[in-house]
Amino acid sequence: MAYDYAKYLRAGKIPHIWCPGCGYGIIMKSIIRAVDGLGMNKDDLVFTSGIGCASRLPGYIDANTLHTTHGRSLGFATGVKMAKPELNVIALGGDGDMTAIGGNHFIHACRRNIDITCLVFNNYIYGMTGGQYSPTTPKAARATTSPYGNSDNQFDIAQLAIGAGASFVARSTTYHAVPMEKLIKQAIEHKGFSVVEIIAGCPTGYGRKNKLASPAGMIEWQKANSVNKVQWDKMTAEEQAGKFPIGVLHQEEKPEFIEAYDANVGLS
C-alpha cells in the first residue's frame, strides 16, 4: 500500500501552488510522515507560518493552522504555546521570513528556549517575490537584486540558532527525505526550542539564475555538498570549505521558558 498522506491533507487542496520541482513538496511529505509516525492527533497539532512560498504549507495541512504576517510565525506560535502549552506547535517559514524580516523573532525565540519546533525552509532566496537575495544567499550568487553577484556574507541559520540559545539544532536537505523526517521527529520530541534548517531547491527563483535550473540537479547538489556531522567533525577546514554539515548539530538540556515562567508566577 502506498503511504496515506491524504489523512493529514485538506481535501481538495492538492495540487499545491508550488512550481514544478520546488523542494517544498518533498518537505511537506517528510513533515506529514514525522507527525504521523509520532501518532499525533491533528487536534493537538498547530502549524504557524509567515509569508512566502514556504509559508503556504500550513494551508494544505488538516490541523490547526495559522498563516500570519511576514516574519511573525514565531510570534503567533509563542502566543499559542503560552495560552495552550499542551498543544504541539510547529512554526515554519522561509529563510527570508525567519532570518530577514523575522530575524529578531527568531533569535529571541531561540534565546527564550520555549518548547516550539521551528522549521526553516532555506532555498537561499526570496522565492515568492521573484528571486531577490536573502540573508542566506551565497556570496557571489545571482539574484534579481544582485545581477552582478551577491556582495553580502551568508547567514548560517543553524549556527545562528545555536549562538542564540536554541537547545536542539539540526540541518537536513530534500535529498535526505527520510533522515529529514527523523530529524523533524527528534525536534518535535525535544523539550525546548528546536530548529531544523532544511535546504531546498527553488528552481524558479534561484536555480535558473545560478546554473542549477534542473530540480534534480539541485537535489544532486545537496547530496554532493552536505556532510554528516560525525564525518564533518573529522574534516580539516580546507575539506569543509564550500560544504555544510547535516544531522543533529547541537542538543542540550536546559530550562524551558513556560516551565520557568509558571514557576516564577507561582503557577507550578
Partner 1 sequence: MAKAEKIEIYVNLCKGCEICVELCPVDALEMKDFKAAVKDLDKCIACMQCELRCPDFAIEVYKQ
| Residues lying near partner 1 in the complex (CB under 8 A) | 1-3, 5, 14-16, 18-26, 29, 174-175, 177-178, 203, 214-217, 219-220
With contact defined as beta carbons under 8 Å apart, do 106 and 99 qualify? yes
* Binding-site partner at residue 134 among ligand TPP, partner 1, ligand SF4, none, CB < 5 to 8 Å by type: ligand TPP
Beta strands in 71-152 (DSSP E): 88-94, 117-122
Separation between Cα atoms, residue 231 and residue 222, nearest integer Å: 16
Three-class DSSP category at 227: strand
- The count of other CB atoms within 10 Å of the CB of residue 10 is 14
- Assess 128 for contact with ligand SF4 (CB under 6 A): yes
Binding site residues, Mg ion, CB under 5 A? 94-96, 123, 127
Minimum distance of Mg ion from residue 201's CB (angstroms):
11
Would you count residue 126 as binding ligand SF4 (CB under 6 A)?
no
Cell 506560535, residue located: 77
Q: Residue 161 or 202: which CB sits closer to ligand SF4? A: 202
Query: In terms of Cα–Cα distance, which of 48, 55, 46 is closest to 27?
Result: 55
54 binds ligand TPP (CB under 6 A): yes
Is residue 128 within the footprint of ligand TPP (CB under 6 A)?
A: yes
Residue 156: strand, helix, or coil: coil
In whole angstroms, what is the distance from residue 268 CA to residue 266 CA?
Answer: 6
Which one of 93, 135, 215, 247 is in contact with ligand TPP (CB under 6 A)?
A: 93
Nearer to partner 1, 88 or 122 (CB): 122
Q: How far apart are CA 74 and CA 115, in angstroms?
A: 11
- Of 29, 38, 67, 129, the one binding ligand TPP by CB under 6 A: 129
**If you count them, how many residues does the chain have?**
268
100 lies in the site for ligand SF4, by CB under 6 A = no
What is the rounded end-to-end Cα distance, in angstroms, of the chain?
47
Q: What is the SS3 assignment for 218?
A: helix
**For residue 28, what is its C-alpha cell?**
511537506
With CB cut-offs between 5 and 8 Å by kind, which of Mg ion, ligand TPP, partner 1, none does residue 51 bind? ligand TPP
75 touches ligand TPP (CB under 6 A): no
Which residue number, 165 or 179, has a Cβ lying nearer to partner 1? 179
Convert residues 134-173 into a mask of x (bound to ligand TPP by CB under 6 A) and - (unbound): x---------------------------------------
Residue 55's nearest CA partner among 155, 126, 152, 104 is 126
Could you give phi then psi for residue 92, rounded to 5 degrees?
-130, 165
In the set 97, 115, 181, 197, which binds ligand TPP (CB under 6 A)? Answer: 97
Binding region for ligand SF4 (CB under 6 A): 18-19, 22, 24, 53, 123, 127-128, 202-205
Binding region for ligand TPP (CB under 6 A): 51-54, 70, 93-97, 121, 123, 125-129, 134
